[in-house]
Structure 1
Amino acid sequence: MLGLELSAEEWQAIGLSLRVAGVATLASLPPGILIALLLARGRFPGKVFLDALVHLPLVLPPVVTGYVLLVLFGRKGVLGAWFEANLGIVFSFRWTGAALACAVMGFPLMVRAIRLAIEAIDARLEAAAGTLGAAPIWALVTVTLPLALPGIIAGAVLCFAKALGEFGATITFVSNIPGETQTIPAAIYNATQVPGGEAGAFRLSIVAAMIALGALVASEWLARRSGSKARLG
């Protein structure tokens, strides 16, 4: 019989996963909206290259993405050394590195959902705001973003869910350190490698499924609510 009582180590992995996924999602949201706007509304040389670069983590093996992050953001990497020297932020073998890896892997899903939502908005509404004297940034804040809110919510949830389940890039970049970088997927992997660990893997799998399902249900509810408000507005 598989016990359903979570151990202290399992609770630790759950808490760390929620922390990493939450930080990854919040950190990705501002650049995600900006890139989605550029891809949806922008007309500039190199747009196809930017689009391909954004979606590259989806087609690269996660281990390759993790290795690239290690080279760039490790203590001896150009970006990693700069962040440590100037901001005091260390990524390699820290939970911050796990959040970075999860953000990179979830970013394409976020951008795609937001971009599709923006492309579905009638550009004439934005133009109408401009004719009424609204500056472009004000039209963005008062027209575009409210109408795109369901897509923004969907993108954030997709990024969160991807971050919650990310394994390959994370373990390559920051290893699998209990209490520091061992998220739910890494803890499940550990449990499957030791005799009698099946119960722990089962418990954590159930928890991961419940969190993901809850996030999706909340996303659907928020998207419907925000969509209804936008139509009424």
Structure 2
Amino acid sequence: MNFLFQKIRRLTLKSEKGQKSLASSGLGWILGVPLFLILVLPGFALVLSAGLSEVWAAFLDPAFLEAAFLSLTSSMMALVLILLSGTPLAWWLARSPSSLSRGVEMILDLPIILPPAVVGIGLLQAFGRSGIMGELLAAVGLNLPFSFMAVVLAQVVIAAPFYLRSATVAFRNADRNLEDVAKTLGHSPIQIFFRVVLPLCRRGLLAGALLAWARALGEFGATLLFAGNMPGVTQTLPLAIFSTLERDVHLAIAMSLLLLALALLLLALLRRFEKDPAGGNR
């Protein structure tokens, strides 16, 4: 028996050495260079294509400022809605033992896979004047399509799955022993959720919130079809860049560079929180 264990250990050590030699040889990096260049070159080209004066002009452009304010306002509203409704939903998905939760989780992931244009058409069919909810909304005086709330709703649908996935994983990985200890101390389920579970999962929840916010800021297709592209009403930053491209290519490039800088900032914050998706009480 000891001989068998020693044999297995020698095979394991050989496997680890083989993996280290493969990594140290740089073969993985060499094979990955084409994909790396494809991913990096567009952003690098944006940096080279716009000068500081053009970026400053884009920053002061009224169309950019208006679209930026609308994007920030709508995406923050969308994020608040996602957090308020998505957090308890993610908790249920993570802790429910029923097969129903697995089916619901799969359906909620659909917007990640579907083209945004399909989501936009679906929103029109659901909330448009002739849609499933159209008559009910009209009866209470609501007309969602091609309005500011349509922008928010499109961003919620597109961005929510990213938060739900991150929050669900964080809740599943949380240490349940601490919850059991809190129960023995007489805490109610609500107290345990707010005082134990949320602090344990805060990194995962913050990472999901940042990812959802970034996705909401960059939403284009569903917003264009469901909310339109009306300056000052429904024109977000991606739509403003699209419209500006037709009349001033250099201004559109400068706007894109500003959005790229914001994306890099959000990505840096996201990487920081993703280091410990289920915890944070270090």
TM-score normalized by structure 1? 0.88
Alignment equivalent of 2:251, drawn from 188, 194, 200: 200
CA distance in 1, matches of 2:186, 2:112: 41
Q: Do residues 73 (structure 1) and 124 (structure 2) align?
A: no
Matches within 5 A, 1:12-161: 12-83=66-137, 85-86=139-140, 89-161=142-214
* Alpha-carbon distance, 1:173 to partner: 0.8
CA distance in 2, matches of 1:43, 1:229: 26
Change (3 A) 1:16 1:144: same
**Larger Rg over CA atoms:** 2
Label 1:163 to 1:80 Cα distance change in 2 as closer, same or farther (>3 A).
farther
For 1:44, the aligned partner's letter is: S
Instruction: Please report how far the alpha carbon of residue 52 of structure 1 lies from its aligned counterpart in structure 2 after TM superposition.
Output: 1.0
User: How many residue pairs align between the two structures?
Assistant: 228
Q: CA RMSD in A?
A: 2.5
- Deviation, 1:175, is 1.3
State the one-letter code of the partner of 1:179: G
Q: Secondary structure at the match of 2:109?
A: helix
* Residue 162 (structure 1) aligned with residue 215 (structure 2): yes
Task: Give the Å deviation of 1:191.
Answer: 2.2
Q: CA shift at 1:53, angstroms? A: 1.1
How far does residue 148 in structure 1 lie from its aligned partner after superposition? 0.7
Contact 2:199 2:280 in 1 (8 A): no
Q: Once the two structures are aligned, what percentage of the paired residues are identical?
A: 34
Aligned residue for 1:177, secondary structure, equals coil
Task: Check conservation: 1:74, 1:91, Cα contact below 8 A.
Answer: yes
Instruction: Please report the TM-score for the alignment, with normalisation by the length of structure 2.
Output: 0.74
Q: Would you say the 8 A contact 1:21–1:102 is kept in 2?
A: yes
The change in CA–CA distance for 1:213 and 1:82 in structure 2 (over 3 A counts) is farther
Aligned-pair distance for 1:222?
7.2
Aligned to 1:178: 231
CA distance 1:80–1:130, change in 2 (3 Å): farther
Q: Is the 8 A contact 2:108 2:161 kept in 1?
A: yes
**Alpha-carbon distance in structure 1 between the residues aligned to 2:102 and 2:195:** 29
